[in-house]
Amino acid sequence: MTADVTPRDAPVVVETVGLGKAFGTGKTAVRALDSIDLSIRQGEFVSLIGPSGCGKSTLLRLIGDLTDPTAGTVRVNGKPAARARQDRDYGMVFQAPVLMDWRTIAKNIELPLEIMGFPADRRRQRAADLLRLVELESFADRHPWELSGGMQQRVAIARALSFDPKLLLMDEPFGALDEMTRERMNAELMSIWQRTGTTIVFVTHSIPEAVFLSTRVVVMSARPGRISQVIDIDLPAPRSVETRESERYFELVTRVREALRRHEPPDEPGDPVAADRIRAEGLA
């Protein structure tokens, strides 16, 4: 079996150069991100992992043109992020599925297509195809509140895929789910990614999730948020339950864990958050 690492000559989908973001100015400014140089090629599955507050969401929002950089540039498919957003180059999925409760599941998936002015019959066909993809065909006419959290998140993924985005940005989409559901959703997302070939940038703070899903894991450190290490995940495809039991998987989980720890030295003395973490991890 071959490793599912993207060919090095695939087109670059995301390119950040010296990307930085500060909130506020002067003494109270928060440097959320600093000097981020990252290049993501078509068909990659890249996870951003790091401690809370290290700027994962900010980086995703910069790529998605939901916020503006204060330094550097971000280009998507060779264009400024704002242009890529106008061109609907990406879909986004957040931790909370944000579905419209008064719309049926099918109508929720059709929403972006409605906004884009697709004719009704194409919208319906597309929603039906996507419901099959996320294995919710029989729930087309139900409403969001009738579905479990995991099912709702599958609807949100289907909706994000509705207009065939070249890039899918996901911010801790399974963070609110229990461990079993999360593992099932991981397998589901893997298979969706393999079938669609969409490039995915995925924020998580779960090490097993990052290793299982990704072709590359970008490890970040806080204050200011920086990339501290990039780890290639050379696990063979297709990934399955056996993947999680393989020796290579455990090695990579350990590498990511060590990278996170190495770049998280005890912060300034007296920092209560750092002190708690050190105690919790048994480092002191």
Integer Cα distance of 29 and 167 in angstroms:
31
Q: How far is the CB of 104 from ligand ADP (least distance, A)?
A: 32
Q: How far is the CB of 118 from ligand ADP (least distance, A)?
A: 33
Q: How far is the CB of 220 from ligand ADP (least distance, A)?
A: 7
C-beta neighbour count of 77 within 10 angstroms: 19
Select from 1-9, 49-57, 112-120, 150-158 the region that touches ligand ADP (CB under 6 A).
49-57
| Tokens read off for 101 | 């409760």
Sites for ligand ADP among residues 133-152 (CB under 6 A): none
| Tokens read off for 145 | 């509140």
C-beta neighbour count of 18 within 10 angstroms: 12
219 contacts ligand ADP (rule: CB under 6 A): no
Residue among 57 and 221 whose Cβ is closer to Mg ion? 57
77 contacts ligand ADP (rule: CB under 6 A): no
Cβ-contact 1, 237 below 8 angstroms: yes
Buried b / exposed e along 151-172 (16+ C-beta atoms within 10 A): bbbbbbbbbbbbbebbbbbbbb
Residue 221 contact among ligand ADP, Mg ion, none, beta carbon within 5 to 8 Å by kind: none
57 contacts Mg ion (rule: CB under 5 A): yes
How many residues line the site for ligand ADP (CB under 6 A)?
Answer: 12
17 contacts ligand ADP (rule: CB under 6 A): no
Strand pairing category for 12-23 and 71-76: antiparallel
Residue among 54 and 252 whose Cβ is closer to Mg ion? 54
Coil, helix or strand for 23?
strand
Sites for Mg ion among residues 182-211 (CB under 5 A): none
Residue among 57 and 108 whose Cβ is closer to Mg ion? 57
Q: Which of 44, 60, 95 has its CA nearest to residue 217?
A: 44
| Tokens read off for 81 | 């992020």
47 contacts Mg ion (rule: CB under 5 A): no
30 contacts ligand ADP (rule: CB under 6 A): yes
Interface contacts to ligand ADP, rule CB under 6 A: 23, 30, 32, 50, 52-58, 225
